[in-house]
Each structure stands twice: as structure tokens, then as C-alpha cells.
Amino acid sequence: MGQILQYIQSYLHSDQTPGAAGNMFWVLVYILLVFAGLSAAVIAMNWLERKILAHMQVRLGPMRVGPHGLMQPFADAIKLLLKEDIMPAEADALIFWVAPFVVVLAAFTVFVVVPFGPTHAITDMNIGILFMLGVSSLSVLGIVMAGWASNSHYPLIGALRSSAQMVSYEVAMGLAVVSAILMTSLNAEGTGTLSMIGIVQAQLAQHEWFIFKFFPLGLVAFFIFAIAMVAETNRAPFDLAEAESELTAGFHTEYSGFRWSLFFLAEYSAMIAVSSIAVTLWLGGWLRPFPNLFSGATWDLVFSWFPGVTFLLFAAMCFFNAARMPKHPLFRVQTIGLAGFGVVLALVGLVLFIPAVSGRIEDIFWFAAKVAGFMYLYIWYRGTFPRYRFDQLMQMGWKVLLPMGLGVLILTASVALLQPILWHP
């Protein structure tokens, strides 16, 4: 017993990720935490997307299940789980059954290397980014399987579209990623890294996020990635694979209930995954913003209050809306519920002001905040843009993003090579 406790405690003083330290107990804990956090994020995204989109479209969105529809995702989840499991008679049963799991597996596995903080990752691989790109592109396999096994025209076209789309955008995406990785090698030893944690630490060491590096090269590479990642996740305006008005629902037309919810889960966690890549590579991962402009212990302290302040703001929003609730007995439960939710958020916010807590949470907070920014962008795109046509999408991928990616890569490499000669003789 003592040995086990010692084994568990031994990690607490480590400055490595549990996977790298080889501590299986903490690996399991982290896996559970990441999985739970991700599921919570998907649930929150579901609600937020519907609410934000609704407000962009001058409507209210879910309002009935819980205060301001807060319980709507749970109601939906229960509905989906209780639905009849339908498999088309002509479908290829085995492949039809496996496909959603392949997609979900690919979407969740990438989180093994996502660094939420210097030690907050399940593991740190020396090929982290390669692993992420590789595994996340496995989801196309699941989509093709789903489209093929459904044995129906619309899913087939959807699957073909999405495989062509994902394959072609991966090229541009890869080039943008390589140009960011090149930047990690700008140190005394001249050695770069593919490790996700290493990439962020390189930005810390160079006192510059890679989005600002070699302006505007880092920015262009970031934009290429930002466009390609929307295409990669099949979201608007590149949602051709599930273009509702054309292909009813694309590759998952024949899926319903639990299987469909797996595709839904995978789509949202894939969005979070690619956003994490973008945040890690260009936006400094878990690092707080403005490290150069506002440096020093005072500013560090001020920035450490941000998580708490954010939660307090959310709590204030809850209280404000609870106060605005109609004063009618029918709304009493909802009002109390919303106020209670606000109290919970406020308590969490207050706890986050404790230095010992905020020191551990701050990294995760900044990482999550940046990813949340990308999530908002996804929703914003969906609210504003019409959908690209297939040929235009391909044209954009191969004729615009790919040459740009190549150009940025070559320029970044040249600047990186010339920099020591030209500017630091």
C-alpha cells in the first residue's frame, strides 16, 4: 500500500508529463480528465453553438429545457441514446457498425499529445505534431467507410467529397505546419522539435509566438492552417460532405441515434483538436498573452487573476439573466436554477483566485481560452458564409493554399538561414 502511495506521489514533484515520466496511475487519471473535459466541452459547444448562432440570426435558440436552454444538450443526448438503432437492410453491417467508432477513435486519440500546460498532457512524444496530423487524418477512413457501407447515393457522394477534400487540404495544412516547425529550430543548437510541448517552449524561449515570427510569414502560415483546418473538419463554409441542402446529411444520412451522436461527438472533438494544433503552433499554446509587453511579477499576478475574473463574469451573466427572468411562478424553478448555476460559477471563480490553484490552472485556462476563440470563429463562419462548391473548394486547396504554403515554407527557410548572417553578423 505504501509503495503504491509512493508511486502515486512520486509524480507530483516531476516536471514532466505523466506519460513521459512513465507513471501509469497519473496517465490514467489524465486520460479520464481529458476525456471528461472533452465531453464537457462538446456538450458546452453544442449549447453555445446553438445559442450564439441563434443570436446572430435574431432568434433565441433553445429556451425551454432549463434556464436559457442550458439543459438542452442533455435532453438531446438522452433522446439520441433512447432512439431506435436503425441499420439499413442493404447496408454492409460490419463496416456500418465500425465506421463511427473509427471516426471517434481518431478524434479522441489525438488528445494524447495535446499540451494543456507544460506538464498537463497525457504524454509528450518527440513526434507529437506528426502523430496528431497522422491520427486526425484517420477519421477520413471512418467517413469513407460510413459512406460506402450505407449503400446509398447521398452518403456515397458525401464520403467521396469529404475524402477528396480532407486529402487535398492536408497537404496545404502540412506545409503550414512545417514552416512553423522550422521556426522551432531557431536556437543556439539549431535543432528543432516535433514535440507539442517543445514547440510551445520554443516560442517561450524565443519570446515570440510563431504567428508574429518573421512577420508576415508566420501570419500567412497561420491563415493557411486556419482555412485548411475548417476544411479538414468539414465545417461551414467547407461542409460539403454533409451539405444539408444538397446531400441531405452527406455521409451520415443513414445513421441515427447513438451512432449519429458518435459522428457528432467526433466532429466537435476534431474541431477542438485542430484548434489545439493551431493554438500550439502559432498562438503560444498555454502561454499567457502579451508576455513581452506586460512582463514582470506584477503583470504575472494580474494575468493570474484572469481565470477567476472570467468565471466571475460568467456568474454575473447568470445573475443578470436570472434577475431578468419573468416574475411568474412558472419561471421560479428556472430562475433559481440559473442563479444556482451562477453561484457555482462564482465559487469556482473565487477558488481560482487562490494562488496555489491559479498557478496550476492558469496554463489550462489560457489554452482553453484560445481554443474557445477558434470555436467562436467556427460558429461565426457558419453564421455568415455560404457553402463553397466542390470544384471551387478543390481549386482553393490546390491552386491557392498549396502554392502559398510552399512559398511560405521556402521563404521561412530562407529567412531562417539568412537571419544569422544578415542581422547578426
Partner 1 sequence: MTDPNTLSHLDLEAPEKPFLDANELVINMGPQHPATHGVLRVILRLDGEKVLGLECVIGYLHRGVEKIGEHRTYTMFNPYVDRMDYVAAVSNGLGYCETVEKLLSVEAPPRAQYVRVILTELNRIASHQLWLGTHALDIGAITPLFYTFRDREEILKIYEKYCGARLTTHAFRIGGLQYETYAGFEKDVKNFLDFFRPKIDEYEELLTTNRIWLERTKNVGSISAEDCIALGVTGPVLRASGVKWDLRKAQPYANYKNFDFDIPIGQNGDTYDRYLVRIAEMRQSVRVVEQAVGSIPEGAVMAKVPKVIKPAVGEVYHSIEAPKGELGYFIVSDGSTQPYRVRVRPPSFVNLQALDLMCRGQLVADVIAVIGTLDIVLGEVDR
Residues forming contacts to partner 1 in the complex (CB under 8 A) are 53, 56-59, 153-154, 157, 161, 236-237, 239-240, 243-246, 248, 382-392
- Nearest residue (CB) to partner 1, 236 versus 281: 236
Minimum distance of partner 1 from residue 247's CB (angstroms): 8
- Least Å distance, CB 375 to partner 1, is 18
- Nearest 5°: CA angle at 256, between 253 and 260? 85
For the bound state, the minimum distance from the C-beta of residue 386 to partner 1, rounded and expressed in Å, comes to 4
Question: Who's near 330: CB < 8 A, 6+ residues apart?
Answer: none
Contacts of 132 (CB under 8 A, 6+ apart): 110, 113, 114, 196, 273, 277
Nearer to partner 1, 200 or 247 (CB): 247
For residue 222, the number of C-alpha atoms closer than 13 Å in the C-beta half-sphere is 22
Please say whether the beta carbons of 345 and 318 come within 8 A. yes
- Closest to partner 1 by CB, 392 vs 414, is 392
Nearer CB in complex with partner 1: 57/126: 57
- Write down the least CB distance from residue 137 to partner 1, Å: 23
Q: What sign results for the dihedral spanned by CA atoms 355, 359, 365, 370?
A: positive
Report the distance separating Cα 410 and Cα 395, nearest Å.
22
Comparison of 126 and 395: residue with beta carbon closer to partner 1: 395
Q: Which CB sits closer to partner 1, 215 or 385?
A: 385
Q: How far is the CB of 164 from partner 1 (least distance, A)?
A: 10
Per the CB < 8 A criterion, the answer to whether 402 and 409 are in contact is no
User: Rounded to an integer, what distance in angstroms lies between the CA atom of residue 326 and that of residue 314?
Assistant: 20
Rounded to a whole number of angstroms, the minimum distance from the CB of residue 395 to partner 1 is 9
